[in-house]
């Protein structure tokens, strides 16, 4: 889903929401229009993903064509950790099958293959090291501030 579609969605929803009656209730036609807007946005998002177009929520790059995520660190409970790069398996230079990052580059956010930067062993998304903790990805410039 790209920025243009999100902006169009917000504008459409603003238009729909402004059509509430004086009691704060939506008319049936207004609700149908809102649902149609949501369905259209989902359809466009699905088509973009099928065309190899997925945007990383952190670096705002196309995950399947960029080299990797530009957010190289994680701030976890006020401690900085360097994110673990994509591992090169064997002699191939294949991209990560989940997020598309190249070997040696950083996985994109929410990638199933990212390794926990604390224990350096478990899958990040299921690791007990980070369960329930405040997590934010950051780039090197944010650390230097």
- pLDDT tens-place string over residues 57-93: 888 888 888 899 999 999 998 899 999 999 866 556 6
User: What is the residue whose two structure tokens read 């956010």?
Assistant: 109
Give the whole-number percent of the chain exceeding pLDDT 70: 61
Return the half-sphere exposure (C-beta side, CA atoms, 13 A cut-off) of residue 124.
23
What is the rounded distance in angstroms from the CA atom of residue 43 to the CA atom of residue 19?
24
What is the rounded distance in angstroms from the CA atom of residue 74 to the CA atom of residue 125?
13
pTM of the model: 0.59
Inter-axis angle of helices 28-50 and 3-17, nearest 10:
170
């Amino acid at each position: 889903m790209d920025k243009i579609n999100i902006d169009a969605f917000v504008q459409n929803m603003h238009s729909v929401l402004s059509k509430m009656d004086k009691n704060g209730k939506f008319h049936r036609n207004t609700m149908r229009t809102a649902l149609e807007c949501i369905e259209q946005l989902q359809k466009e998002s699905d088509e973009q993903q099928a065309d190899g177009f997925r945007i990383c929520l952190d670096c705002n790059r196309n995950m399947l064509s960029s080299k990797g995520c530009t957010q190289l660190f994680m701030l976890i409970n006020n401690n900085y950790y360097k994110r673990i790069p994509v591992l090169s398996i064997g002699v191939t230079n294949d991209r990560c099958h989940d997020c598309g990052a190249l070997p040696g580059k950083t996985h994109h956010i929410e990638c199933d293959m990212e390794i926990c930067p604390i224990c350096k062993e478990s899958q990040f998304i299921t690791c007990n090291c980070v369960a329930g903790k405040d997590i934010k990805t950051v780039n090197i410039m944010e650390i230097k501030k």
